[in-house]
Structure 1
Amino acid sequence: VLDGVGRILAVHCDPKVEVGRIGLRIGPITSACDRLEVSLDGPGGHTARPHMTTDLVTAAAKVITEVPALLARRVDARSGLAVTWGRVESGHACNVIPQHAELSATVRCLDLPAWREAPDLVHAAVDEIATLHRAKSEINYIRGVPPVVNEASSAELLRDAMIARRGASAVEDTEQSLGGEDFSWYLERVPGAMARLGVRKVGDTTRRDLHAGDFDVDEGSIAVGVELFTAAVLLDRNA
């Protein structure tokens, strides 16, 4: 599909940026993002006698709190490797130590070296903590996406196109996000860049975030995106 493609450009909506503007940076603009699923098992038992079994809920709690702390000491802190748990399920009664627990998390990091190391590091950390608490662990590490890394000339093309259409004030610097984006896979094959497309309504001071229930978009941003891409294509052809 990408044979013969010389450059690839993208935008991603950003509610922090006002409509009519874009956020841009050269280099990494998003982070790597993977998924982690952990199953813990033990014989179960009565909460009156946790010493006679595997206290599985405590083991799960230790995995939740200690895996991120352990990883922070096994990679360069500048990599931003972070595990954040989004789902925890175990047990059905207050006086029964369960036999099974399931945990799910996202694993995010800022750079490619840490992303490549992450599966082995996470496996080792979970196994180490589960074993310490006499729980059997099973880990499913699901690769997601690497960081989106904006190629310099493509990012400058987007910057020049936006300035040509709307002036220098229409472009602002943006930070690397810890969010993940599958546009990164295209950039493994073709040079390109992604900009943050402003979608916040002019004058709206409410803090909104992507995926939040109150997320709102100024639909005028669609025309701005089309204008940006059109200007970029024309600039690139005339270069």
Structure 2
Amino acid sequence: MEERTDLDAMLQTVYPDMVQWRRYLHRHPELSFQEKETSRWIARQLEEIGCEVKEGLGGFGLVATIRGDKPGPVVALRADIDALPIQDEKTCDYASTLPGVMHACGHDAHTATMLGIAKYFTSSRKSLEGERRLLFQPAEEVTPGGAVGMIKGGALSGVDVIYGVHLWTPLPYGIVAARSGPFMAAPDEIYIDITGRGGHGGLPHETVDAIVVGAALVQALQTIVSRSVNPLEPAVLSIGSFHAGTTGNVIAERCRLTGTVRTFSEEARARIRERLEAIVYQTAAMHGANAVLDYRDGYPTVVNDDVEAARFFRVAAERFGPEAVQTSTLIMAGEDFSYYLREIPGCFMFVGAGGEACGAVYPHHHPMFDLNEQSMLVSAKLMISMAENYASEHLSTRVSQL
């Protein structure tokens, strides 16, 4: 109980800094693989806190290392630092100052939370067992993602376990959630270019209308999930953009469709890709057009380790109460945290950040997105508690084997 009181009291002390950090980052966002100034700013904060910092992983990624005075495992915690190409439409003193770019997914708060965690661990070195490695990862929002570069740069070298949190506004503040096994979908990208034969709008018989081909293709693609995938298997195929034509009296020669495929199993992923290729090329041929499909594999499915997911439910219930802990539904959003989980055991978790009182009612990736900043405290407590529980269990196991 004393340790818990110390944690709560310390985080309450650092919370004003977390809010200040988060709002600074929200005012100064940078896109994926462009986080140069963000990375420099984070490095300065970590150095002031007293962390050993390694820069330049996966582009502009950083790793902060805090070594305890006692032996123990290496536990990694991860935050993401990139923003999105969205215009911030909020009216507040911390709105984005960069036109067309904003933190519309909570990564600013993830980073601020991790800086608060860094303060906690550096102040606890004398009692700290092992090493805490804090990952500040770039480019979570776009494939191939920054996690791959972080891993290649040695971020997981010697690490025993990894945890990550996403502040999640669909969940109300005070609720935490996760699940064992598959959790978040593999998000693949599709790009389809159709070439027909353009011409006069009054002489359609002399053309091959790329818009007609594209429209037929959109309709045909909707049969893949409904008729080619087991109805008990979660899957989504969505066309998100359709670009063709220049004016009303000219039949378009070219059309471009872009979309996404979301799956949880490799079987469904392969089946959808197979059917998509057949439908794209055969539909184009049927209309006398040509088509090119660019299918880009996205992140793997996020698959939580069973043991570490069980730790989440145990630790979260103990810290926040059983009524605050939920088993999450499957989430069709993707996350490159999946790459870490392919290398070592770990658990990805959601912390509720929604609430009407603070205006956190808009979905992620919305121009009005905001979150309940108090959720940063919940996130910090959860990740620290997971790390300390793992270290304590590791020490108990080591002692029993002596």
Asked whether the 8 Å contact 1:68–1:82 carries over to 2, the reply is no
1:194 to 348, 358, 374: 348
| 1:13 Cα offset (Å) | 1.6
Equivalent residue number for residue 231 of structure 1: 385
| 1:216 Cα offset (Å) | 1.8
SS at match of 1:79: coil
1:142 to 281, 296, 299: 296
Q: Does 1:29 align with 2:183?
A: yes
Equivalent residue number for residue 163 of structure 2: 9
Question: How much is the aligned-residue C-alpha RMSD, in angstroms?
Answer: 1.9
Equivalent residue number for residue 133 of structure 1: 287
Asked whether the 8 Å contact 2:176–2:350 carries over to 1, the reply is yes
Asked whether the 8 Å contact 2:224–2:275 carries over to 1, the reply is no
Asked whether the 8 Å contact 2:360–2:370 carries over to 1, the reply is no
| 1:198 Cα offset (Å) | 0.8
Asked whether the 8 Å contact 2:174–2:324 carries over to 1, the reply is yes
Identity of aligned residues (%): 28
Q: Count how many residue pairs are aligned between Structure 1 and Structure 2.
A: 239
Which amino acid in 2 is paired with 1:236? Y
Distance 2:225 2:285 in 1: 17
TM-score with structure 2 length normalisation? Answer: 0.56
Aligned counterparts, 1:64-213, within 5 A: 64-201=218-355, 207-213=361-367
1:43 to 184, 190, 197: 197
| 1:50 Cα offset (Å) | 2.2
Distance 1:71 1:19, change over 3 A: closer
Asked whether the 8 Å contact 1:80–1:109 carries over to 2, the reply is yes
Distance 1:155 1:205 in 2: 31
Structure 2: segments with no counterpart, 5+ residues:
1-153, 394-402
Structure 1: segments with no counterpart, 5+ residues:
none
SS at match of 1:137: strand
Which amino acid in 1 is paired with 2:385? A
Asked whether the 8 Å contact 2:170–2:354 carries over to 1, the reply is yes
Equivalent residue number for residue 217 of structure 1: 371
1:52 to 202, 206, 212: 206
Distance 2:330 2:311 in 1: 19
**Looking at both structures, which has the greater relative contact order when contacts are Cα pairs under 8 Å and sequence separation is at least 6?**
1
Larger Rg: 2
Worse overlay, 113-122 or 23-32: 113-122
Distance 2:391 2:341 in 1: 20
Q: Which digits, 9 at most, give the CA deviation of each residue in 1:124-173, with x for residues without a partner?
A: 22112111122100111111112111111111112222122111112112
Asked whether the 8 Å contact 1:112–1:147 carries over to 2, the reply is no
